[in-house]
Structure 1
Amino acid sequence: MLMPFNFSDISVFIIKLTFKSRFKLSRLCKKIPPLARAADILFFQGDDILVIPRDNTINKNYTSVEINQDILIPQEETILPSQVLKEIILKSRYHVIMDKCICRVSNGCENYPHELGCLFLGRGASKISPKLGKRVSTKQAINHVEKCQKAGLVHIIGRNKIDSVWLNTGPKEDLLSICNCCSCCCLWKMTPELPDNIAKSIAPMIGMKIKFQEELCNGCGQCSSSICFVEAITLKNDKAIRDSEKCKGCGRCAEICNRGAFRVEIKPDAVKNSIEHVNSLVDVESD
């Protein structure tokens, strides 16, 4: 007797089978333009994703004030990037937490919990197979992202077509993804290998940037040792070298640097502008 067709089972099988080959496939796309166009249409077209740095990177922020010499004074009002996530979660009608992180499971992650999966919002989330995740309350969704932060994961939020494809949720405009990423297994580690038009679909949070002060760097190498998921930092002549074009603003470098050579700088309207941008991608309030 033939088993009934189950789209989610097939999707998971294909992802697990091909996940570790994504770098090779990305390089092929860069070399073969027709293949890149096909991949874009099938999996990436219309993508718009923001990387949200962890809140504790902001706690390391300081404002420089010149008196007789530069003195570093902590900011009085701390802007927390996670406010972007929480505001969007509060607005959403549907919240679905995946039982597992498909990236960490597929990559056999040994550093972070497999059970801290993506959070999906919007009416597309209501179509996710119960075999893959569960619908939760607003409070549970917020608790989930807080738990992910405590585990050391970095959030990315936005419209990610590949999720609507493998989860079979319909139009990409109906599904908002909040992924909880580790530097070792994130799907988007392949970004440096992707054609530029696809790679640019994932960007730093609006209104934030990472400032690098080379004179404070002692060349310890911690920031260049598997910390940056897009390999934007290298070590040369006992100094860190940061490629600002590659950087996606995850803030892990600022988090690990004990010298303060890397700092996350965030504008006062960064949260507001980021929320407005994400709201324009997917209508999470619709039934």
Structure 2
Amino acid sequence: MRRPRFVDLSRFTLKYIFNWRFWIAEITKKSNTYKKVVDKMLFEDDEIVVVPNTINVNKKIESEGSEFLPTEVIKEVIKRNKDIVIMNSCLCRTSNKCQDYPRDIGCIFIGPTSKKIPEHIGKKATVEEALAQVDRADAAGLSHIIGRNKIDTVWMNIRPGKGLLTICHCCPCCCLWKVYPNLDNSITDKLEKLDGVSLKFDESKCKMCKKCLKERCMFNALSLKDDEISIDYDICKGCGLCVNSCKFGALTIEYTNEAIDNVVNRIDDLLEIR
């Protein structure tokens, strides 16, 4: 019996398209027509927020009398939804044969469209199982990207896209969004820093071990200039991966008090299911 089309498409994506991602992204800067086609096919209506890993966070967020770590943004969204699927493994790390981070910590999908995800890709999960998955990702040193991501509905061949929210757990070496520097600005603008997040660099504590550079920032915000660590704050997304790599406290993430409610409410609106 012929298998459903989405099985063939997902396997094709796993084996081939992932390896072409940098080439595909680069052309969006060179051809306006191609950029419009790629945007329409893979990024239309996307709105994605980077949420830092909570390891090494130097300050909690206060909101309406309660205290939250940044990951509570994600957990609050999960608690508000009953349709949850956890991916069996990470597509990016599996495709890239990652050796540094767990391949079995896959994305979390929430929203009514998640019910259409086939079991060979992900399994239906409880709120408790999803919260535990977030904790596992934190412990593994992964940062989180949450939002509406059209590319997921394309490779899984499920609709509607506005009924699906993706929570990715990203490593610096394999994440799909490593293509960020290669994409045209009109597309990269859809990937945002969490409101109220800022990266701080204390040069007096830096030992120039350069581990933050070796870990490779997904967004190319860190570089070496005149034998000193340089940070481009305009493109930094506050993912916290460089903070986790620094053992001397030279890099820290700080937060303002608005970070929780604004993002949770915005992400609620993204699902458009209420």
TM-score range, shorter chain: over 0.9
* 1:226 equivalent among 215, 218, 232: 215
Name the SS for the 1:57 alignment partner.
Answer: coil
In 1, distance between residues paired with 2:237 and 2:246? 17
Give the aligned residue type for 2:177.
Answer: W
Pairwise mapping of residues 83-162 of structure 1 onto structure 2 (< 5 A)? 83-162=72-151
Asked whether 1:196 is paired with 2:195, we answer no
Q: Which residue does 2:172 correspond to in 1?
A: 183
Cα 1:5–1:242 shift into 2, 3 Å: same
Paired residues of 2:47 and 2:147 also in contact (CA < 8 A): yes
Name the SS for the 1:259 alignment partner.
Answer: coil
Q: Which runs of 4+ in 1 moved over 6 A?
A: none
* 1:209 equivalent among 181, 194, 198: 198
Gaps of 5+ in 2: 61-65
Cα 1:79–1:227 shift into 2, 3 Å: farther
Gaps of 5+ in 1: 63-76
Q: Which residue does 1:71 correspond to in 2?
A: none
Give the aligned residue type for 1:232.
Answer: A
Shift of 1:205: 1.1
In 2, distance between residues paired with 1:215 and 1:32? 44
What CA deviation, in whole Å up to 9, does each residue of 1:70-106 have, x standing for no partner? xxxxxxx864011111111111020100111111111
In 1, distance between residues paired with 2:4 and 2:267? 34
Shift of 1:283: 3.8
Name the SS for the 1:85 alignment partner.
Answer: helix
In 2, distance between residues paired with 1:118 and 1:9? 20
Pairwise mapping of residues 72-83 of structure 1 onto structure 2 (< 5 A)? 79-83=68-72
Shift of 1:183: 0.7
Asked whether 1:281 is paired with 2:257, we answer no
Give the aligned residue type for 2:31.
Answer: I
Asked whether 1:29 is paired with 2:28, we answer yes
In 1, distance between residues paired with 2:3 and 2:212? 49
Q: Which residue does 2:40 correspond to in 1?
A: 41
Paired residues of 1:210 and 1:263 also in contact (CA < 8 A): yes
Paired residues of 1:51 and 1:157 also in contact (CA < 8 A): yes
Q: Which residue does 1:20 correspond to in 2?
A: 19
Shift of 1:264: 0.8
* 2:229 equivalent among 240, 256, 277: 240
Shift of 1:36: 0.7
Name the SS for the 2:215 alignment partner.
Answer: coil
Name the SS for the 1:55 alignment partner.
Answer: coil
Q: Which residue does 2:259 correspond to in 1?
A: 270
Asked whether 1:9 is paired with 2:8, we answer yes
Shift of 1:122: 0.3
In 2, distance between residues paired with 1:49 and 1:118? 14
| Backbone CA RMSD of aligned residues | 1.8
Give the aligned residue type for 1:128.
Answer: I
Name the SS for the 2:159 alignment partner.
Answer: coil
Paired residues of 1:11 and 1:166 also in contact (CA < 8 A): yes
Paired residues of 2:52 and 2:143 also in contact (CA < 8 A): yes
What CA deviation, in whole Å up to 9, does each residue of 1:214-251 have, x standing for no partner? 44433221111134112210112221011112211111
Give the aligned residue type for 1:8.
Answer: V
In 1, distance between residues paired with 2:27 and 2:202? 36
Cα 1:259–1:237 shift into 2, 3 Å: farther
Number of equivalent positions: 269
Paired residues of 1:127 and 1:168 also in contact (CA < 8 A): no
Give the aligned residue type for 1:211.
Answer: K
TM value normalised by structure 1: 0.88
